[in-house]
């Protein structure tokens, strides 16, 4: 049977929240009003919201994997004040050149690989072609495209290398989170109209 849910897969650092490299202190986590509005729009249009985040700080030995629980809880708390629900969080703790032995692997989940998205689709009955990966670097775009999703690159200055290619080309390049959300919602409505 084909999968029935649609989702927005959202990168955490630099997309959902301001990027503070390797931060796991919940007190430093903030979510902008624009992101709140964008998430509400997406949620109201029937998308599940799922976080897809590389957390190589675990493998690098910067923080224990348990610290990500606090991050998850803080984000959940900040969003629940606005009646926004995150369906699930997926973190990749791996890094091939790390220091914390058990996480030093060349895994299938570290973006640009699509492992976390594919797993989320399986676990939450998500139809990838109706879903989107939204991130601030081209590795997010590649992961989304490889998983068979549509993609939006949030062009906020965090992508600095611009290593391009077909698989790294987003469906849409957005200058802000709310614009990205509006594009996705309108694209989906147009697709329904012409179907
Ligand atoms: Mg990012
Ligand atoms: Zn991984």
Domain-embedded: residue 1: no
Per-residue confidence band for 2, with pLDDT thresholds at 50, 70 and 90: confident
Mean of the per-residue pLDDT values of the chain:
96
Mark the residues whose beta carbon lies below 5 A from ion ligand 2. Answer: 92, 94, 107, 109-110
Residue 114 lies in a domain: yes
Q: How many domains does the chain have?
A: 1
Please give the distance, rounded to the nearest whole angstrom, from the Cα atom of residue 34 to the centre of ligand 2: 30
Please tell me the distance between residue 31's alpha carbon and the centre of ligand 1 in angstroms.
14
How many A from CA of 117 to the centre of ligand 2? Answer: 12
Ligand number with the minimum distance to the CA of 110: 2
Instruction: Give the pLDDT score at 5.
Output: 98
* Span 168-181, average pLDDT: 97
- Is residue 29 within 8 Å of residue 51, measured between CB atoms? no
Q: Which ligand is nearest to the CA of 93?
A: 2
| CATH code for position 130 | 3.40.50.1000
pLDDT per position as a tens digit, 88-106 = 999 999 999 989 999 999 9
Q: What does the pLDDT average to over 163-177?
A: 97
Q: What integer pLDDT is reported at residue 191 of this predicted model?
A: 77
User: Given the structure tokens 């959902």, which residue do they identify?
Assistant: 16
Position 1 scores a pLDDT of: 62
Domain that holds residue 148: 6-194
Q: Where are the alpha helices (DSSP H) in the chain?
A: 33-44, 67-80, 115-123, 138-146, 177-194
User: Does the annotation mark 13 as catalytic?
Assistant: yes
Beta-carbon contacts of residue 94 (< 8 Å; ≥ 6 apart): 56, 58, 59, 103, 104, 105, 106, 107, 109, 110
Predicted confidence at residue 149, as pLDDT, reads 98
Q: What pLDDT does 193 receive?
A: 72
pLDDT score recorded for residue 192: 72
140 in active site:
no
Give the pLDDT of residue 195. 59
CA distance 65 to 72: 12
The single residue of 13, 27, 136, 190 carrying the catalytic annotation is: 13
Residues of the chain with pLDDT > 90, as a percent, come to 94
CA of 15 to the centre of ligand 1 (A): 6
DSSP string covering 82-133: TT----EEEEE---TT-SSGGG-S--S-STTS-HHHHHHHHHTTB-GGG-EE
Could you tell me the CA-to-CA distances from 10 to 87, 90, 118, 133 in Å, in that order?
A: 11, 10, 14, 6
Residue 54 inside a domain? The answer is yes
């Amino acid at each position: 049977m084909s999968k029935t849910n649609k989702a927005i897969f959202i990168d955490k650092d630099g997309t959902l929240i301001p990027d503070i490299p390797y931060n796991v202190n919940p007190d430093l986590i903030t979510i902008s009003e624009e992101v709140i509005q964008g998430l509400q729009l997406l949620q109201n249009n029937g998308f599940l919201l799922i976080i897809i985040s590389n957390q190589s700080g675990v493998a690098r030995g910067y923080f224990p994997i348990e610290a990500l629980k606090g991050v998850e809880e803080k984000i959940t708390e900040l969003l629940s004040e606005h009646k926004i629900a995150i369906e699930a969080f997926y973190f990749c703790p791996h890094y091939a050149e790390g220091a914390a032995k058990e996480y030093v692997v060349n895994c299938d989940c570290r973006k640009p690989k699509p492992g976390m998205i594919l797993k989320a689709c399986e676990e939450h009955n998500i139809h990838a072609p109706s879903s989107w990966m939204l991130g601030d670097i081209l590795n997010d775009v590649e992961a989304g495209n490889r998983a068979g999703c549509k993609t939006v690159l949030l062009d906020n200055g965090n992508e600095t290398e611009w290593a391009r290619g077909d698989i790294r080309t987003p469906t849409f390049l957005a200058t802000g989170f709310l614009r990205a959300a509006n594009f996705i919602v309108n694209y989906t409505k147009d697709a329904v109209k012409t179907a």
